[in-house]
Amino acid sequence: MNNLKRAENILKSNDFTCVCCSDTETLTSNKRGVAPLLEWLDTGKNLHEFSVADKVIGKGASFLYVLIGVREIYTDVISRPAIEILENNDIPVTYGTLTEAIRNRDNTGFCPIETAVSGITEPHQALVTIRETLKNLKK
């Protein structure tokens, strides 16, 4: 079984939000949103050889995956802008459901991270915006 399929199987058979698999290591997270991605980015974890399975990927998460440098991705739900970012950065993605935009957790509007990065095209600029948005949401 390849790493992408292994990551997808682990995601679907457990209560994780994100699973990363390489030939020698498996990383999992129960954290929601972009939290696990920011954590891996901040620790400098090299994920270039990892295949990822994630429950939901919006445009913000796609920028973070570009910065982390993963090999390939499976996701249950992805937004159209997220696919564009991943494809433009040569990260293959397979998915279950395609949507125009990711909804917020209480389904009353769009995800604040997706909204915050909507006009952004550069991953490092997106990272700054994501951090600012999360800081403002905590207030």
Q: Give the tens place of pLDDT for each residue, 88-100.
A: 999 999 999 999 9
Cβ neighbours of 45 (radius 10 Å): 13
Report the SS3 class of residue 99. Answer: strand
Please, how many CA atoms are within 13 Å of residue 128, restricted to the half-sphere of its CB? 5
pLDDT band at 105 (very low <50, low <70, confident <90, very high): confident
pLDDT band at 113 (very low <50, low <70, confident <90, very high): very high
Report the SS3 class of residue 55. Answer: strand
Write down the pLDDT at residue 92. 97
Give all domains of the chain, ordered by start, each with its CATH number. 3-138 (3.40.140.30)
d(Cα 128, Cα 55) in Å, to the nearest integer?
A: 23
Write down the pLDDT at residue 80. 97
d(Cα 30, Cα 28) in Å, to the nearest integer?
A: 7
- Give counts: helices (H), strands (E), the chain: 6, 5
Over residues 20-75, the pLDDT tens digits come to 999 999 999 999 999 999 999 999 888 999 999 999 999 999 999 999 999 999 99
